[in-house]
Structure 1
């Protein structure tokens, strides 16, 4: 190669999901053990038939294939305001919202609007790997709050506070956590938000799996603070909620002034989210509440069955934390990294997982298990393979 590569990008690791699918392609004897996919956290079920039919009716409309305003269609943002009022008790206005190409693009918009190279973001570990990949590419320093197994992955506010300095621009948190599944309690989120306010930094909260909290409980009350816009940046995705991961259905919520500047990046990065995706979101938030609740219950049953069987005596792997889509597991092989154990699980047991070190420093004893692709009927087989696995 004759031309240079940006050193920030050169130093970033290859996307973990892409890497493990390369492992799958290179399996020596795939016919011996059918693959059990506990890797990618996507719903195994299709979108609601009514949503599919709704989108089909849009395909003949010429407007479907045109740009929308950079921030999204007005009627979609109006519909989302009503959703935020129902879900969070939020006083939300359309000017607080920008439709994005997935939650990942929403995160990039937030970063490039908020931070300069050399700034710092305090990151709760385990983190979602794409977030830190983005920070590294942009020359923004991630300052880690280590995983505390005794707390089950719930962030400790004093630990976050101890890492704030004059270069800190934001506190970054994902709830429910990807990779552990742990839901940060509303009272802890309130403390972290007050910490952000006190130190005049932003709280960036990613709630991509927020509709999968058991019972549909309200995740927090942060939007009810009249001054939420001053220190809160909210990211979510309806890709998992409505089983639309391929349509990239993200949302960024922030102050109108913040979004005014974020739209400069939006226009150069993506212009706008696809109209069809925006229409899918609007139909979903207006009509699919019962469908979402049924799938939330489905995922909770799947999770509870997995936990019950995984924790039964005789399993050398230990469940550390879990919630709806995820289980965070300690493997029993101290001489091996999580990545090594994940590779061996694939080769010897036909089970696809992710090694813990992908999600932060000091996490080699762990594996992430995603439950989106395994049916209730398949959970027994998946757990049996863990129980029988030896290095």
Structure 2
């Protein structure tokens, strides 16, 4: 007799990144055509040397780095991040409105856990970030798909028509994962006004904020002194300082909500990584110029995508979105993108994710799109990627 399984967990789709990893498990690729992996949006290079050195010193010399810390994060890091974001956005964020989490995925999970329960609803623009959808499914919270236009931007007027009595929040990701598009400041502000007028939370995931092409604040929401009555802002140190394995993220909201978040964190991880938090703090304090250089490099890769795409456009491909770590492309083939993505491993030694992993099952749009995560390929790698994609031939 087998043990029972949670039906909500069973009904949740498998995570796309490990699923795609199984497509190449045990495979070897030709020496003249090595694998190009554009499936995951995470830096593979280690943190910069000053961070690694400081982390090693903390490991060896700070006994507290091995102990439980405060559930909501190190006070010094909460204060430093609050000050930094206040300066970046021209608003006021206090340390008591800031929590440190074990990565940004935990920040989203904690935020949703304070907002909604089984049977409630959350609006997610499509294409959506798959881990957001997975958490809602596991929590028995209904995801309400929010369609986007040809520019892959959601419309607050459309969102207003989808709000029902069980709706608890609208969740946005900007710069967007998977589409790469940056939501204009006025669009984000319009969503905040909609959420406020309907008594909902607006959850804004800004994991890729440090690679935004816009100079200055990406949105004006923190200028409102009562921002924490509506906005829940999420952030990640993983991409900014290459701390993916150390799991350090952040959540900004009202002190009252953070009291509830504390319960969630204490039950799940007790506290964020002590070593990772120390690295994040040093990054804020000393690596501003280094991070600016990382941003310039990512923006240069974005420019390479846009400059090189005509090679694919000649073959019928379309660049639908590009920014931060991502390009979202429409392919010209009869194959559904889930079959195409697997075929590209064989035909082009390219591993990418299909649009079907970012949209509701059966969605026509998902069958037409691929996500290319270019964080780990430089301009030459992008050119090689486009050469390979331009060279494949399938039925149209």
Please give the range of the TM-score, normalised by the shorter of the 2 chains. over 0.9
- Is the aligned partner of 1:255 residue 2:258? no
* Rounded Cα–Cα distance in structure 1 between residues aligned with 2:113 and 2:309: 42
Alignment of 1:1-391 (within 5 A): 2-27=2-27, 33-60=33-60, 61-149=62-150, 152-312=151-311, 314-334=314-334, 336-361=335-360, 362=363, 363-391=366-394
Worse overlay, 248-257 or 304-313: 304-313
Is contact 1:28-1:347 (8 Å) kept?
Answer: no
| Secondary structure, counterpart of 2:241 in structure 1 | coil
Worse overlay, 214-223 or 369-378: 214-223
1:44 Cα deviation from its structure 2 partner = 4.2
Is contact 2:125-2:148 (8 Å) kept?
Answer: yes
Is contact 2:148-2:155 (8 Å) kept?
Answer: no
Is contact 1:193-1:222 (8 Å) kept?
Answer: yes
Q: How many residues align?
A: 388
* Rounded Cα–Cα distance in structure 2 between residues aligned with 1:219 and 1:167: 30
| Secondary structure, counterpart of 1:316 in structure 2 | coil
1:36 Cα deviation from its structure 2 partner = 0.5
Is contact 1:27-1:347 (8 Å) kept?
Answer: no
| Secondary structure, counterpart of 2:114 in structure 1 | helix
Is contact 1:214-1:297 (8 Å) kept?
Answer: no
* Rounded Cα–Cα distance in structure 2 between residues aligned with 1:44 and 1:314: 32
Is contact 1:101-1:249 (8 Å) kept?
Answer: yes
| Secondary structure, counterpart of 2:4 in structure 1 | coil
1:29 Cα deviation from its structure 2 partner = 5.2
Is contact 1:316-1:387 (8 Å) kept?
Answer: no
* Rounded Cα–Cα distance in structure 2 between residues aligned with 1:239 and 1:381: 27
Q: TM-score by structure 2 length?
A: 0.95
Q: TM-score by structure 1 length?
A: 0.96
Deviations 1:275-299 (A, max 9, x none): 1111111111111111111011101
| Secondary structure, counterpart of 2:100 in structure 1 | strand
Is contact 1:44-1:374 (8 Å) kept?
Answer: no
* Rounded Cα–Cα distance in structure 2 between residues aligned with 1:137 and 1:100: 20
1:4 Cα deviation from its structure 2 partner = 0.9
Structure 2 unaligned runs (5+)?
none
Deviations 1:182-240 (A, max 9, x none): 00011110000000000000001100001101154311110111111111111110100
1:28 Cα deviation from its structure 2 partner = 6.8
Deviations 1:77-107 (A, max 9, x none): 1111111112222311111111111000111
* Rounded Cα–Cα distance in structure 1 between residues aligned with 2:30 and 2:329: 25
| Secondary structure, counterpart of 1:5 in structure 2 | coil
Deviations 1:126-159 (A, max 9, x none): 110000000000000000112322xx11111111
* Rounded Cα–Cα distance in structure 2 between residues aligned with 1:106 and 1:28: 37
1:32 Cα deviation from its structure 2 partner = 6.3
Extract structure 1 runs of 4+ deviating beyond 3 A.
26-32
